[in-house]
Chain A
Amino acid sequence: MSISNEGEWVNTSCNGCFSVCAIQVKAKNGKIIALRGNPDVPSSQGKLCGKSLARVADLYNPNRVTKPLMRTNPEKGLGIDPKWKEISWERAFEIIVKRLNEVRKRDPRELAIAVFEAPNSFITQAFGQAFGTTNYDFNNGGYCGSGLHTVFSHTFGTANSEIDIEHCERLVLWGAQLGHGANNNPTKAARNMAEAKKRNTRLVVIDPLLGNAAAKADQWIPIRPGTDGVMALAIVNLLLNELRIYDATFLKRRTNGTYLIGQDGHYLRDKKTNKPMVWDIDIKAAVPFDSIDPDKTELEGKFRIGAAGYETAFELLRKGVAEWTAERAASIAGVPVEVIRNFAREHGEAAKIGATIEIQGKTLPWRPAAIDFKRGVNAHKNSYFSCFSVQLINIVLGAMDVPGGLLGVNAFGPYGAWKAAVGEDGLLESDMLTAHARSNGFRKCYPANPTHVPETFDMEGLFPISGFLANLFHYSMSEPEKVGLDYHISALIVCRSNFLKSYFDPKSVASYLKKMDFILGFAIQIDETSEFADILLPEAHDFERYFLYPVNAPPAFIPPGQGDWYLQWIRPVVDPPEGARNWMDLLFEIADRLGTRDSMNEYLSTGVGLMDGFTLSAGKKYSVEDVCRRQVRMFGAVAGIKDPEKNLEETGMLRLYQKTLEEAFPGAFLEARIPIYLEHFIKAGKEVEAIAKKHKIDWLDTHFYKPLPTWHPCPSHTQTDDSFDLFLANGKAALLTHSINSENPWVDEISDLNPYCRHILLHTKAAKSRGIKDEDEVFVESEAGRIRGRVRVTECIHPDVVGTFGNGGGWARGRPISAGKGVHSNTLVPFDWSMIDPLSGQIDTCARVKIYRVEVSL
């Protein structure tokens, strides 16, 4: 390959984090000389973050891997030198093929593949399928979220969320950083957020740490980690039972709040149609939910039919949340009771229930108060219910997928590619994903998936209601018998994932990695996970290679709400250094040599949805560029765009069309209902219980399966050793979101100058009572491990919390710039089966810790 665009702006996208902002890059003499946001593409509008701009320096790091490497030290472990030896490509392929064939012959399912590169997981998927394994959806997704994505799937029909900032008057970011250097679509959201601040939009941030978003907030509410669900339930309680602020029209029309529930917890069903029943106000009788104008149904109340009593789902929710008083929440969450009360009142009033707005000549509901929530709420034991409880605030106020509210990230796809629609029992069901068309760990999750003893390492079968299971591999790989799996993983391919550092308790992860027979990795620099590889292949930077198309999948990376549909690409700007290759082309070549290429072509065609006329043929050796351009031509044909490749080269995107109002605000048009009462959990829970019993899966607490939200403490909340007297929290630093860039020399230096991001944060009072001073060297210790670092005494943290920003404290030899800088707080998070949320499969990131000074002996 040779690139001929000397000195001209090349239109591509940035892969510095997963948000793929459109960029223009200029090269001269094979070197990148300039980088800027693409002014004509909505994702960047000519602007970029510091992470992206700094990438000019990435390519010239002298520690880049440019030759295949073989480990010569058979011993593997944290900090152990692999003693790399350079080998020829031929030799490398020989070893890889021999080792993978051994696995394939024994049992192909023993191969697992890790990947965290959004559009390209279809490649690992197709490689895995052709090889004979379905253990290919494996990444470090412990951060973003099983509970979060599942709750969005159940309530929006899509897996992500953003606030409709443009029409919002009160924005709440709860454990989230939308528009402040993190989260999806960061560049566009940053601009929208700045415009909102100019309009004096109120911003409230709930977070244990005063991060970039909280710094800009009108109100910062510090909270104890893992207690978000309690505070949310208390707010729902205040809204429903005390303030009585809720959107009754919305609840009647768009939720299952009017469905009648029997004593057994199940819907009252129509004998003829089996449909859930509601109470008809006029005839005072139960009728099928879809046989009546929703306005004519009772939202509240108890009803007697024959000998049996029934209550509406809303009535049960209202009673159910009554136990979560503001006082109780205050004492658990460490938030003053009046702060919780004021929040409920202010937020309820700001939602302007009943208000409408005129957009494009149509009158739509307008709910200008919205709560977005992300990792801070999600990454805990009570993940599903905490996320669901926060989302309930949006739901009871009707602020769902309407102007000013929280928006699902594109529940409707362009050209009707997917949609949210009325599904089982009238509830929202999406055809975006099916149970078997998994992508990056996502799968469809309503109705509940079948339960069975797991056959794959994502533990599918044990988590029927969950829509995202990518982070469970580490547990099942460490002890497959605990899951009922009758085989183990003996070989790994690691593509673009440094899970040893980004997952929890590296000692535990290392202990099962050590047992693997064979690990193949791809590397630009040799990171912590790469140090466990047997063979490492040098890979190209994203400025040097193609990606599958499009790179900005609409369910995550096209902002929801009004705007255009547009599809970006990633194409090379410069040639990779001699020796480095696109990791996906390397997987193709391995498939060629394994004899699985024809089958991989077929799976890839299906996986990425190539239509007739564009499918990959057997017997042909396509490159990633070939596949990418084929996809581009297909999208061009669908959109009626002439010469789509030229179009992309010239503009950086294929612009499809302006979203319709229905696509922008589906909440105003949909009839499908959102569950406020999770009836289907009852059956799912019983099924899981039976399987767990039969297969002696004792760590899975099936008591979590309840139709009404509750709050379960994290293991850290119930820890009995009082000497661990503080909670651990980790936040995002704007310049370090996603740790791969910490090795960038500029990012490294600017991080050094930042007073917080490489220190251990301790509240002024907590420091004083422990005799700890600013810049003191300390140990932070949990039951899982100990880290050492310098203290920043600050007011920017909840008094009961020890905090860190970013994922520092790396130890990889191949990343000398950032090695040892900052602290690795994941070391403190226990690797323990009690950390798994039984509903969503999310891993808790909480830990109880103690902090003490490093005593220097003279």
Chain B
Amino acid sequence: MAGYAMVIDLDLCIGCNACTVACKVENGTPRKIFYSRVLELEIGEQPEVLRLFLPVLCNHCEDAPCVTVCPTKASHRAEDGTIQIDYNKCIGCRTCMVACPYHARSYTNKTNYYFDGTPIPFPDKPKPEKVGVVQKCDFCTSRRREGKEPACVEACPTRCRIFGNMKNPDDQINEMIASERSFQLLPAAGTRPMVHYLSKHKEKIRFSR
């Protein structure tokens, strides 16, 4: 079973997008490609209207449709349980993008820097350009190897994102996932996401792209 999981407490998220930027910095993603972003939902009418911030990223599903449909096995479950893309195997057919109900995957067929000819940021070890392949959040594999949390988790000023391993019975996220406020996006899709949310408004939240 997959072990790594994330819990995002929507009651604490203030929609500041520190996570979105931290992800951009960490992954050097080009224009229009966000592995992590914050959706805004407006629900209901005054005086009960709700404006909700909903951070979304790859759900690293236990039953991941992207893995099932990938013709080259580029999308696969890694040994640590996370869903990864082998960029050497990916042929850019984008079937997985159609299959993913969360729209967590992106594709570009050309280099698309923010400033012409200038990749930003300037990482220690430049990441390979992901041109002509599908790309997505990898739960910050390289940071985890260094014993760090994913960049979005480290960045969050309200600490609304918690990253942990469900296989570890002492990990606080097990208790959080058991909370009454806990829910997942699109449970009916049967994907069993590893990203869990907490919200006192969970009944009202409808995820769409």
Assess whether A509 is interfacial by the CB under 8 Å rule. Answer: no
CB–CB A194/B12 < 8 A: yes
B20 within 8 Å of A (CB atoms): yes
A50 to B160, Cβ gap below 8 A? no
B40 interface contact, C-beta 8 A: yes
- Which residues in chain A, 724-745, are within 8 Å of chain B measured between CB atoms? 734-735, 745
**Stretch in B41-49, B134-142, B164-172 touching the partner:** B41-49
B121 interfacial by beta-carbon distance below 8 Å: yes
Q: Which of B31-76 contact A (CB under 8 A)?
A: 31-32, 34, 37, 40, 42, 44-47, 49-53
Interface centre among B11, B24, B44 (most CB of A within 10 A): B24
Q: Is A190 an interface residue (CB 8 A)?
A: yes
Q: Is the C-beta of B3 less than 8 angstroms from some C-beta in chain A? A: no
- Contact A212 to B25, CB < 8 A, known contacts A33-B123, A49-B157, A794-B42: no
Tell me the bound Cα distance from A344 to B136 in angstroms. 50
A221's closest neighbor in chain B, by CB? B47
Q: Is the CB of A735 within 8 A of B122?
A: no
Known: A32-B121, A33-B121, A53-B21. A756 touches B40 (CB 8 A): yes
A31, B122: Cβ atoms closer than 8 Å: yes
Interface size (B, Cβ < 8 Å)?
44
Which residue of chain A has the shortest Cβ distance to B22 in the bound complex?
Answer: A53
> 1/0 per residue A175-187: CB within 8 Å of B?
0000111000011
In the complex, are the beta carbons of B16 and A753 less than 8 A apart? Answer: no
Instruction: Choose the segment among B86-94, B99-107, B111-119, B183-191 that binds chain A (4+ C-beta atoms closer than 8 Å).
Output: B111-119
Residues of chain A within 8 A of B34, CB atoms compared: 753
Kindly state whether residue B84 has any CB partner on chain A within 8 Å.
Answer: no
Please determine whether B158 and A191 come into contact, CB atoms closer than 8 angstroms.
yes
Assess whether B49 is in contact with A795, with CB atoms less than 8 Å apart.
Answer: yes
Given known contacts A53-B18, A795-B45, A187 and B157 CB-to-CB distance under 8 angstroms: yes
Question: A745 near B114 (CB under 8 angstroms)?
Answer: yes
- Asked whether, in the complex, the Cβ of B14 is within 8 Å of the Cβ of A216, the reply is yes
Residues of B within 8 A of A222 (CB): 46
- Name the A residues within 8 Å of B15 (CB-CB): 181, 212, 215, 734
Q: How far is the CA of A44 from the CA of B45 in the complex (A)?
A: 36
B157 touches A795 (CB 8 A): no
* Mask: chain A, 33-54; 1 = CB below 8 Å from B; 0 = not: 1111000000000111110011
Encode contact with A along B118-160: 1 for CB under 8 Å, 0 otherwise.
Answer: 1011111000000000000000000000000000001111111
Chain B residues near A795 (CB-CB < 8 A)? 42, 44-46, 49
Q: Which of A31, A54, A197 contacts B21 (CB 8 A)?
A: A54
Residues of the B chain whose Cβ atoms lie less than 8 Å from the Cβ of A214: 51
- In the complex, A491 has a CB within 8 A of chain B: no
Q: How far is the CA of A674 from the CA of B46 in the complex (A)?
A: 38
Residue of B18, B45, B159 most packed against chain A (CB within 10 A): B18
Q: Is the CB of B121 within 8 A of A212?
A: no
Minimum Cβ distance to chain A for residue B146 (Å) = 13
Q: Does A194 contact B159, Cβ atoms closer than 8 Å?
A: yes
Residue pair B115, A61 in contact (C-beta under 8 Å):
yes
- Nearest CB in chain A: distance from B123 CB, A: 6
Number of interface residues, chain A, beta carbon within 8 A: 55
User: How distant is the Cα of A796 from the Cα of B47 in the complex, in angstroms?
Assistant: 10
**In whole angstroms, how far apart are the Cα atoms of A836 and B20 in the complex?**
41
Using Cβ atoms and an 8 Å threshold, which residues of chain A touch B116? 62
Q: Which residue of B lies closest to A796 (CB)?
A: B51
Name which of A62, A194, A210, A756 has the most chain B CB atoms within 10 A of its CB.
Answer: A194
The total number of A-B Cβ pairs within 8 Å is 136
Interface residue? A56 (CB, 8 A): yes
In the complex formed, the residue of A with least CB distance to B120 is A57
Contacting residue for A35 out of B20, B25, B47, B157, CB 8 A: B25
Specify the chain A residue showing the minimal Cβ separation from B26: A34
Closest to B33 in A: A749
Q: How far is the CA of A35 from the CA of B154 in the complex (A)?
A: 12
0 or 1 for each of A413-450: is its CB under 8 Å from B? (1 = yes): 00000000000000000000000000000000000000
Tell whether A9 is near chain B: CB-to-CB under 8 Å: no
B17 at the interface (CB under 8 A from A): yes
Interface centre among B11, B15, B34, B37 (most CB of A within 10 A): B15
Q: Does A764 contact B (CB under 8 A)?
A: yes
Give B180 Cβ to nearest chain A Cβ, in Å.
14
Complex interface: chain A residues within 8 A of B45 (CB): 764, 795
A505 to B20, CA, bound (A): 34
Q: Which of A47, A746, A796 contacts B156 (CB 8 A)?
A: A47
Chain B residues near A181 (CB-CB < 8 A): 14-16
Q: Are A48 and B25 in contact (CB under 8 A)?
A: no
Query: Do A796 and B115 contact each other (CB < 8 Å), given the known contacts A54-B21, A190-B16, A194-B12?
Result: no
Q: Of B16, B22, B42, B154, which is in contact with the most chain A CB atoms at under 10 Å from its CB?
A: B16
Q: Are A48 and B155 in touch, CB under 8 angstroms?
A: yes
Report yes or no: B16 in contact with A734, Cβ–Cβ below 8 A.
yes
Q: How far is the CA of A749 from the CA of B15 in the complex (A)?
A: 15
Given A190-B157, A795-B44, A753 and B121 contact (CB-CB distance below 8 Å): no
Chain B residue nearest to A753 (CB atoms) is B37
**B51–A28 contact, CB under 8 A?**
no
Query: With A56-B121, A754-B40 in contact, do A735 and B16 touch (Cβ < 8 Å)?
Result: yes
**A28 lies within 8 A of B17 (CB):** no
Complex Cα spacing A48 to B22, Å: 10
Distance of A53 Cα from B53 Cα, bound (Å): 19
Chain A nearest CB from B14 CB (Å) reads 5
User: Does A190 lie within 8 Å of B25, measured CB to CB?
Assistant: no
- Nearest-neighbour CB distance to chain B for A51, whole angstroms, equals 8
Instruction: Give, as a whole number of angstroms, the nearest-CB distance from A26 to chain B.
Output: 9
Q: A48-B157, A198-B12 are in contact. Are A60 and B115 (CB under 8 A)?
A: yes
- A215: chain B residues at CB < 8 Å are 14-15, 50-53
Whether A50 lies near B20 (C-beta < 8 A) is: yes
* A290, B182: Cα distance in complex, Å: 59
Is B25 within 8 A of A56, CB to CB?
A: yes
Shortest CB distance A314–B (Å): 35
CB neighbours (8 Å) of A56 from chain B are 25, 120-121
How far does the alpha carbon of A722 sit from the alpha carbon of B50 in the complex, in Å? 32
Q: Which residues of B contact A28 (CB under 8 A)?
A: 122, 124
CA of A31 to CA of B17 in the docked complex: distance in angstroms? 24
Within 8 A of B (CB), among A332-373: none
- Smallest distance from the beta carbon of A222 to chain B beta carbons, Å? 7
In angstroms, how far is the closest chain B Cβ from the Cβ of A10? 15
Chain B residue at minimal CB-CB distance from A35 = B25
Q: Does A193 contact B (CB under 8 A)?
A: yes
> What's the minimum C-beta distance from A82 to chain B, rounded to whole angstroms?
24
Rounded to whole Å, the gap between the CB of B94 and the closest CB of chain A is 21
Closest partner residue, chain B, to A33 (CB atom): B122
Q: Give complex CA distance A244, B83 in Å.
A: 62
Q: Which chain A residues numbered 798 to 841 have a C-beta less than 8 Å away from chain B? A: 799
Q: How long is the Cα–Cα vector from A47 to B45 in the complex, in angstroms?
A: 34
Closest to B19 in A: A50
| Chain A residues near B122 (CB-CB < 8 A) | 28-29, 31-33
- Cross-chain contact A746 with B158 (CB below 8 angstroms): no
* Chain B residues closer than 8 Å to A858, beta-carbon distance: none
CA–CA, A29 to B122, complex, Å?
10
- Is B16 in contact with A62, judged by CB distance below 8 angstroms? no
Bound together, the chains give a CA A745 to CA B44 distance in angstroms of 33
Which residues in A have their C-beta under 8 angstroms from that of B20?
50, 746, 750
Q: Is the CB of A210 within 8 A of B157?
A: no
Question: Of B17, B155, B160, which is in contact with the most chain A CB atoms at under 10 Å from its CB?
Answer: B17
Query: A33-B122, A56-B25, A57-B120 are contacts. A49–B18 as well, Cβ < 8 Å?
Result: yes
- Rounded to whole angstroms, the CA-CA distance of A503 and B3 in the bound complex is 53
Minimum-distance CB pairs A-B, first 5? A194-B158, A745-B114, A215-B51, A795-B49, A50-B17
Question: Can you list 15 A-B pairs with a CB-CB distance of less than 8 A?
Answer: A35-B25, A50-B20, A53-B18, A54-B25, A56-B120, A57-B120, A60-B115, A186-B157, A190-B157, A193-B158, A194-B160, A212-B16, A746-B21, A746-B24, A755-B40
Given contacts A50-B20, A61-B115, list 17 more A-B pairs with CB under 8 A.
A48-B18, A48-B155, A49-B18, A53-B25, A56-B25, A56-B121, A57-B114, A187-B157, A190-B157, A190-B158, A191-B158, A191-B159, A194-B158, A197-B12, A214-B51, A734-B17, A754-B40
